[in-house]
Every structure is written in C-alpha cells, then in structure tokens.
C-alpha cells in the first residue's frame, strides 16, 4: 500500500477512529524508541567492557563466559515472549 493510499484510508475514518489510529501510531513509535534505547545501552555496555579490557586480551575462558551469558540472556528474552 502506498503512503497516499494509507492517508486516504485515514481520511475516510471517523474522527474517533482517527484518534485511535493516532494513539496506535504513537504506541508503535514509542516501542521503536524503546528498542533503540535498549540497543544503545547494550552497545554502550559492550564499549565499556572493551575499554575495561584495555591492553589485556580476554582469555578463551572469559570469551566463552561472555558467549554463555549472552546466550542465556537471549534464551530468557525469548522465553519471556512466549
């Protein structure tokens, strides 16, 4: 559907339904902002961890620990959705 078609559909709605559509669009925009904020925070954490490493490269055990923690977090997030 083109933007023009979408706008035409909105124009045909009653004022009450348009208000509902606007509220839903605001809700969706808020979810995108929240997702972006979470991603930004995770990236900041990753950079902080890199800075903390300074000149010392991580050991294989430390890398595996990070991988395991990330996988566990992902499993938890996935389980929370279902």
The DSSP result for the chain, as a single string, is: --HHHHHHHHHHS-HHHHHHHHHHHHHHHHHHHHHHHHHHHHHHHHHHHHHHHTT-PPPHHHHHHHHHHHHHHHHHHHHHH-
Domain boundaries along the sequence of the chain: 3-81
How much is the pLDDT for 33?
81
Q: Tens of pLDDT along 22-47? A: 999 999 888 888 888 888 989 998 88
Average pLDDT over residues 63-78: 92
Dihedral over Cα of 67, 70, 76, 77: its sign: negative
How much is the pLDDT for 30?
85
pTM, rounded to two decimals:
0.42
């Amino acid at each position: 559907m083109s933007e023009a078609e979408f706008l035409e559909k909105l124009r045909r709605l009653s004022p009450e339904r348009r208000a509902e559509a606007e509220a839903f669009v605001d809700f969706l925009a808020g979810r995108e902002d929240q997702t972006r904020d979470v991603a930004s925070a995770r990236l900041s954490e990753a950079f902080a961890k890199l800075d903390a490493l300074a000149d010392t490269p991580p050991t294989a055990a430390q890398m595996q620990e990070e991988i395991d923690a990330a996988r566990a977090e992902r499993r938890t997030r996935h389980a929370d959705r279902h």
